[in-house]
Structure 1
Amino acid sequence: MERFVSPSIEHLESLRQPLTAGERLVFNFFNETLAPDWEIYIQPHLNGLRPDFVLLNPNVGIAVFEVKDWNLQAMRYSVEERPGKVPKLCASDGIKSFSIQNQNPVEKIYRYKQEIHDLYCPRLDGKAGFATITAGVIFPFAKQTEINAMLKPCLAYRGMLDWPQYNPISGAEAIAENRVDLVFPESRRAASKFMSNEQADDMRNWLIEPDYATVQRKPIELDSTQRSYVTSRTQSGYRRIKGPAGSGKSLILAARAAQLLGEGKEVLVVTFNITLLHYLMDVAVRWPNAHGRTRQGITWLNFHAWCKRVCVDSDHEQEYLDLWRGSEDQQGSEHQVLSTRLPAVVASCIEGDVDEVIQRYDAVLVDEGQDFLPTWWNVLRKICRKDGEMLLVADATQDVYGTARSWTDEAMTGAGFPGGRWAELQTCYRLPPSALETARNFASQYLPSDTVDLPNSPQGELDLYPCHLRWVQISAEKGTQVCAEEILQMAPRASDDILAITDITFLTGNQRMGAAVVNALESKGVNAVHTYSSDKKESRRRKMGFYMGDARVKATTLHSFKGWESRAIVLFVGENIDNQACALIYTGLTRLKRHEKGSYLTVVSCASTLAEFGKTWTNYEER
């Protein structure tokens, strides 16, 4: 029997967070000494926690281990006992003492054990279920006597000294002598009456490596047309590419940015959407020419952040601040600032910058160009060096701000593009075939015909990508409850697949609704990384911290998820439907990513006008 390891052994050298020397030693120890029916999960995404190792045997139980590479001779370690409080772990470098309580391994394994029992394995039998969970600490480079002396007060406070077989603390001697009986005493069990395959399934959805982490280790895959756009430039240096969702526009842009960086060029990547920058950065690092330098070597900014930077760098910060004063209180004023006044101020700053204090670039690349106004593009042109390069990619079908129609032929001519047509991408590589057909049907029925650019499947492609489409039609008052239920049930419903909980993404066009769903999830103990806030500054801060590699469920607005993708999506549709709402829904439908083991899309809809469309889905339910 071959042991199951996640991530697989051949990928251990390419983890985003590389194994330490001690972790590598411990992995080899477990892999060599444990029976093959013990599964090994390395740095699993556990609802925001990241233990070093989790071991799982459906007949025996679960074990979680924290590994510390500490050299106990390098510093003096001590424990401060506090009446009625958790003992505090401290260290001293000989000059000063400081708290390292946030690294206290006893507190970490205590929390892991509690959450595994209470949340991840809800079918475990009450307190008796704790007998199936081992929580241990391993110090592969420290002596056992030193470890025992240091951690005794911490272990005593948590009652772990009374049950050493379930809370093993081991050191270098046990590892060196291959004493699995000391490191993991419960591994010698053949079975436990408290453990079952069902409980193991509950746990696997939390432990399996997310799809996003797997993808990050793979080079970008491009067809010959896409690759030609990455490795070449036009004679003028200006290129515009359009194509439907999933046709690879963002891949091309991110790869081109990395390619140019590898050629020694200074590159600026600009988006309207703050969160999209994280996706583009993660894509760019996968281009072979990047050499791992894309995050630091390329400038990644959303348009408004770039405008502010220009104003501040050129000593026009006050003029920038004055633009916004009172704009939020006057109807239409904010739009006027964005469309006209802000670009004019930034253009003036650049034109007056004779000393070139403002950064210039060899290439300026703009993603989701349908969200940009021609005035924004033209001011960006001013910081592109002579004989530089400008790239614009767009999909008018995803016109969620109503700006795509401003890109008239006349505007294009004034934007530096020579005569001729857009470079076009027509093949969608993202969507599973059945989801692609569903998205095409929606666009044909509900989007303006003059902006629709329908995606096509690769010619002659076989449908090798299972896709589970579900539509739940509800009344508005049930929205929060049903969305939370559908998120929580998505992984268990994937009975023929191990769907990572952290691969699930919740999307809505409404901030308040999104926050309510996140609160409902958290009341069940399920944490989410999200962008919802009624405060603009806080919302921006959350967007800056939103990325798919986070070890929690993802939740954001449809606007913020433009350009992204996920293999598991729950999409909420509100009651009010207009053209922009339909463009947002289409954007949400086209975020679904194909996967050989299956993709999952559930729409929870309050819109009665879309009920007939929902009834065409394979799995339709009314509540």
Structure 2
Amino acid sequence: MAQTVPETIRSSATAGERILFHTLKNHLDDDYIVYYEPEIDGKRPDFVIIGPYLGLLVLEVKDYTMNTLHQFNVDEWLINTSSNGMQKVKSPLKQAMEYMFTIQDKLKKDINLIHHEGKYQSKLKFPCGYGTVFTRLSQEQCLRSDLYEVIDPMFVLTREEMDPDKEEFSEDNLVEKLLNMFKIPFRLKEPLQPREINAIRYHLFPEVRISREYKQPSPYRDQLLLSLHDLKTMDIHQEKLAKQLGDKNRLIRGVAGSGKTLILASRARIIKQEHPDWNILILCYNVSLSRSIESMVRTKMEDPADLFEAAEENRNAMDGITVRNFHEWLRHDLKTSEKDLPALLEKLEKGETILPKYDAVMIDEGQDFAPDWLRLVSLLLNEDTYSMLLVEDRAQNIYRRKRSYVQDTGLDFRGRSKILQINYRNTAQIIKFAWEFFQTFSETSKVVAGDLEGQEIIPPQSTRRKGPDPAIIQATSWTEEVRKVAFTMKKLHEQKKVPYEEMLVLYRVKRTYKVDVIGTIKRIFEEMDIPFTWITENQETKRLYKKEDGTAKISTIDSSKGMDFQAVFMVNADNMPFALEEDENREVALMYIGMTRAIEYLTISYSGESKFTEYFDEVVEKRKQIGESEEMTK
């Protein structure tokens, strides 16, 4: 529940303002502050929201109905009021924007809140956004009245998006809309600290005093091992693949850690350089992965290729590029939901509806996409360009999507696919360990090395990079297991200098009838002074995931796809295969995914018994026998 100032809304507030006030109060997290009609330099914006990951957001609220609206443009509206008849008023979005500029100008006077160098010199270190709320208009009415022609939907909250009593209301969508109400995409590298929030309050509200100390955020570092700079000197196959991918549909099938996402991001840059006016869509299934891809693509787009690229162009590097997870795309861009897909597809195929068209589409982790999803994407591709890049790894297919691209989606990748078998992410020891586990348990026996289109699993080839064998921790209780894991993490941090932000703890479920998985992890980590962030606590924490914040990350295995960390700890392995999961192959794929997130150090821990832990017990026993044999031969 957010903190609201004042605690309750005034009795003379409009019905719509009341609904929004209570919605923000009840559906935003505890660390949000919501101001209702604060006075700032003689002005009174309707709502000002401050959040650690949000920054500052101004909302202008209007109770307009369809009968109210007469004429409108970007700057000025002619409205029909019940008391004064026809009246010219300023566009509510422009009004919110002006309030935001007033606040920005006030906050920029504090040198501790601005950048002192670089392209953001003299600009605030956190984003300031603005938007409008139409408490009595639906999305359908906004479309029908052409309201979206003068206000981009990203800056609008409609009745069903802000009223919990409406069936279409979604807390996730509400938070997502607020996070996207920024003219210039600018996500915080680390959350606003309490002292920075107090600094904002100090300048906006004179009675508040603050400390002016500020910790400079750590610079962004590419999530993956490979970068655009490295692409020129790394594996020649990857370089050619990124530069020579033609138009039309293309498929890249590769093992975990083979640089599929790198190629996708690099390809986005290449296409944008060749076709600056193209509208590019990048999709994946996983929420936190979409944020990682967005950061990676942005870094690629802003990195100058040569001296002819002006800094001015880089400011708008993401123009025309949309990065979403699939369901976010449905909600945000297409204004629909998965349950409505069959009817929507039928209308599209009959030409009975119009949706946004894309000149190029790129899909990461394509094995997670259902046939209808791909069919929808293919129908929204520009017929003249039809440029689709699909990257996938069927060994990571945890959603068991079964399809034939040609029969189910109309996409024919025969002769248009490439295979990446070399794993650059993991050490030879880790990839061997993970692949042997996968082969032991997976019922998917069709493994190939050729250039085929079906459901094949690609066996990984390791690089020559060596490292320690994956560790296996056996414990007598869950509490002891977590303590051993925490001790190992501190040892890696102190002796091997592995930053905590390069450590990932993976769990299958957050609670079982036996143990409170997350509760125990949090308690023991706090006791042992291990900083951590539970990135899969809720949808918002997934969307706001940032790797480099100085904390170890705690995540479900499902949400770890696309991530990589120096050290990975897969805890509570005795809870796999999960008893309530009917498809054991999915559990095998999840374990494989988790293992292959590790760059250098992999640890599997358990304190009970399961089919998987019996396998790990055998690995431990074999290691002992090999060790004893080696001792005898010395």
TM range (shorter): 0.5 to 0.7
Partners of 2:396 and 2:592 within 8 A in 1: yes
Once residues 375 and 218 of structure 1 are traced to their aligned partners in structure 2, the CA distance between those partners, rounded to angstroms, is 33
Corresponding position of 1:388: 386
Conservation of the 8 A alpha-carbon contact between 1:261 and 1:294? no
**How do 1:5-154 and structure 2 match up within 5 A?**
20=116, 97-98=205-206, 101=209, 103-105=211-213
CA separation of 1:20 and 1:615: change in aligned 2, threshold 3 A: farther
- Kept in 2, the 8 Å contact 1:507–1:556? The answer is yes
1:616 Cα shift?
Answer: 2.8
Return the alpha-carbon distance in structure 1 between the equivalents of residues 510 and 544 of structure 2. 17
Q: For residue 407 of structure 1, what is the aligned residue in structure 2? A: 403
Q: 1:227 aligns with which of 239, 246, 256?
A: 239
**How many angstroms does 1:360 deviate by?**
1.5
What does residue 254 of structure 1 align with? Answer: 265
Looking at structure 2, the residues matched to 253 and 289 of structure 1 have their Cα atoms a distance apart, in angstroms, of 16
Residue in 2 aligned with 1:574?
A: 574
Distance 1:617 1:289, change over 3 A: farther
Deviates more, 1:299-308 or 1:513-522: 513-522
Counterpart selection for 2:435 from 432, 437, 440: 440
Q: Is the 8 A contact 1:240 1:391 kept in 2?
A: yes
Distance 1:305 1:507, change over 3 A: same
RMSD, matched Cα: 4.0
TM-score relative to the length of structure 2: 0.56
Assess, with a 3 A threshold, how the Cα gap between structure 1 residues 616 and 569 changes in structure 2: closer, same or farther.
same
**Equivalent residue number for residue 420 of structure 2:** 425
Alpha-carbon offset, residue 280 of structure 1: 1.3
Note closer, same or farther for the CA distance 1:91–1:491 as it changes in structure 2 (3 Å cut): closer
Count of equivalent residues: 403
1:611 maps to 2:614: yes
Shift of 1:208: 11
Is the 1:270–1:302 contact (alpha carbons within 8 Å) kept by the matching residues of 2? Answer: yes
1:244 and 2:242 equivalent?
Answer: no
What TM-score comes out, normalization by structure 1 length? Answer: 0.56
- Alignment CA distance shift 1:214-1:362 (3 Å): closer
Change (3 A) 1:231 1:490: same
Whether 2:473 is the aligned partner of 1:467: answer no
Deviations along 1:173-213, one digit per CA (max 9) or x if unpaired, are: xxxxxxxxxxxxxxxxxxxxxxxxxxxxxxxxxx9999868
Which 5+ residue runs of structure 2 have no aligned equivalent? 1-112, 119-188, 305-313, 447-455, 512-516, 578-583, 625-634
**CA contact 1:48–1:551 (8 Å) conserved in 2:** no
Residues 568 and 590 (structure 1 numbering): CA distance in 2 closer, same or farther, change over 3 Å? same
The amino acid across from 1:402 in the alignment is R
Measured at CA, do residues 210 and 268 of structure 1 come closer, stay the same or move farther in structure 2, by a change above 3 Å? closer
Cα deviation 1:373-420 (Å, max 9, x = unaligned): 1111011111111223011111111121112xx1336536x4321533
Question: Could you tell me how far 1:470 is from its partner in structure 2?
Answer: 1.1
- Partners of 2:229 and 2:534 lie apart in 1 by 28
Task: Work out which structure has the larger RCO, using CA pairs closer than 8 Å and 6 or more positions apart in sequence.
Answer: 1
**How far off its partner does 1:240 sit?**
0.9
Distance 2:266 2:199 in 1: 48
- The match for 2:591 among 573, 585, 595 is 585
| Counterpart residue number, 1:456 | 461
Q: CA deviation at 1:469?
A: 2.2
Cα distance in 2 for partners of 1:240, 1:277 equals 19
Q: Residue 574 of structure 1 aligns to a residue in which SS?
A: helix
Deviations 1:528-585 (A, max 9, x none): 222344xxxxx21121011212332111111111111111111122334222111101
Please name the residue that 2:564 is paired with: 565
Distance 1:208 1:497 in 2: 21
Letter in 2 for 1:246: G
CA-CA distance at 1:301 after TM superposition: 0.9
Question: What are structure 1's unaligned runs of at least 5 residues?
Answer: 1-16, 23-45, 52-65, 69-86, 110-137, 139-206, 321-337, 534-538, 594-598
- Bigger shift: residues 557-566 or 543-552: 543-552
2:576–2:610 CA contact under 8 A, matched in 1? no
Provide the rounded CA distance (Å) in 2 between the counterparts of 1:102 and 1:485: 41
Pair 1:284 & 2:297 matched: yes
- Shift of residue 607 of structure 1? 4.0
Counterpart CA distance in 1 for 2:492 and 2:621 is 15
3-state secondary structure, aligned to 1:287: helix
